[in-house]
Structure 1
Amino acid sequence: MEQKIKRRGLLAGLGVAAAAIVAVKVTASPQKNINDVATASEPEGDGYRLTEHVKKYYRTTTI
């Protein structure tokens, strides 16, 4: 029974360590300004745009 408790403690510790690593990586990543990215890559207007992402989606929906 004591071995199960040790194993659970180890797994819980690994989970906490993994969560801490993810939190550090997320907060340390450089933040992009959303307005700069949107205005630089998209043409003006609110119309439909056939982008590579949309084309890929359409390819995945075909039977």
Structure 2
Amino acid sequence: MELFDHVKIKSNRITGIIVDILDDQFTVEADVERKVNDNSGYPSRWALYICTAAELEPIK
């Protein structure tokens, strides 16, 4: 997998785009924007997930 590939995270079925790769870890930015009233403490409008290649499934 490469930068900007569209993928699905197997464990939670969230889809997104690979926005960074470092030391065999992939940062995936979710396709769905967080809700305005989401107060989970995450500072960005678009959630980020750190995954290994085994946790990701490419989407065509």
TM-score by length of 2: 0.18
More helix by share: 1
TM-score by length of 1: 0.18
Structure of larger gyration radius: 1
Which has the bigger relative contact order, CA under 8 A and spacing at least 6?
2
